[in-house]
Amino acid sequence: MGREAVSTPVQWLEGEFPTYMNVCGVMTGDFQLPQTPSPSTVPEEGEGGLSEANDAINFEPGSTIPSHLFHWRLPVRKNYAVSPKDHANSLRLRSSVLNLTSFDGDSTRGLGQTFLARRQAHSLFRFSVDVECDGLLTREENEVGVTALQDQAQHFDISVAMLKTNGSGEATPHIRFRGIATRTYVLTERWNYVDEAFPLPSELMSQKVRLQVEAVNTTHYGFSAGLGGDNEDADMKVYGWTRGNYLIPYYSGVVVGAYATSNGKFGEGAFSAYVSRWRYTGIEQVRELPPDQLPVYWDTGNNAIGVPLTDACS
């Protein structure tokens, strides 16, 4: 899922400015690209993994957060700890008072957000983590979850949250599906908000809970939860869906990750929760041309050959 980056033939004659070909269709040329023995050697020559690599991160003792994972705002370092005492092979998330929307879907007024993410790198993908929060989330609006996020005003989340929805006045654990899409100046009919809560199923009580975001096709994301643990193929129940263009109108990908928040209550560090078994699996890259557009190829002299797409490339 690349953005604002293409390869196209260029001529740069001596004493002249470079001349770029318009980008259209399938671009080819006499490109000399770096060659490596195999993709597995690339990380040894630099930092991090390949741009389209999957994630299988277990936060082993002595390891650090991989370099391709990042924060939305400047991180509060003490809010993250790899394999802390008594919680090996997990990442401790110390909650922020701000959630992912923050004050107004825009600013954080200098405060941090406890959130660790990676980029969507495939048209179709599956991302999941196991969260350990039994006995750790004790007060209303304590929440730990995963999200598909474009920015603070466009994100959809699935989480375990302490909520008062049973009429007893006591906060109990729930699966929450919540999201917001507010960029009405881009798409006038798009102002969407959802906040749905479901009592945590009995089979998930006192267990690790697996939370998952999946791009199920080229237009929709699904949000699901199930039993965490060693089973890589756990049964998952879908709790919500969203359209890709609710997150970004031209659907060029989002970031996915895990967060912990007290939703404006109790101050910074109100609780800690633990994330383990971080998995990202790319399923498919969808590369399509509209049926009325055939590929255009360019020779090394920057001359179009094949079928010109006059309307599309002018």
pTM for the complete prediction?
0.80
Residue 225, pLDDT score = 98
Torsion angle defined by CA atoms of residues 47, 53, 56 and 58, in that order, rounded to the nearest 10 degrees: 20
| Contact call for residues 53 and 42 (beta carbons, < 8 A) | no
CA–CA separation, 3 and 260 (whole Å):
28
- What is the residue type of 310? T
Locate tokens 């740069």: which residue?
A: 12
Nearest to 175 by CA among 143, 216, 213, 207: 143
| Contact call for residues 126 and 212 (beta carbons, < 8 A) | yes
CA–CA separation, 21 and 229 (whole Å):
52
Q: 127: which strand partners?
A: 213, 280
CA–CA separation, 244 and 219 (whole Å):
5
CA–CA separation, 113 and 97 (whole Å):
8
Nearest to 242 by CA among 234, 251, 229: 251
Domain ranges of the chain: 1-25+290-314, 54-284
Residue 86, pLDDT score = 92
Residue 104, pLDDT score = 66
In CATH terms, 54-284 corresponds, of 2.60.120.200, 2.60.40.10, 1.10.10.10, 3.30.930.10, to 2.60.120.200
From first to last of the 314 residues of the chain, give the pLDDT tens digit. 455 677 788 888 999 999 888 877 677 776 666 666 565 555 566 677 777 889 999 999 999 999 999 998 888 999 999 999 999 999 999 999 998 888 766 677 778 889 999 999 998 999 999 999 888 999 999 999 999 998 878 899 999 999 997 667 889 999 999 998 886 555 555 567 889 999 999 999 999 999 999 999 988 999 999 999 988 889 999 999 998 878 876 656 799 999 999 998 888 999 999 999 999 999 998 876 555 555 554 454 545 444 444 444 54
Locate tokens 């990042």: which residue?
A: 70
Contacts of 241 (CB under 8 A, 6+ apart): 220, 221, 222, 223
Residue 305, pLDDT score = 45
Residue 66, pLDDT score = 93
DSSP state of 288: -
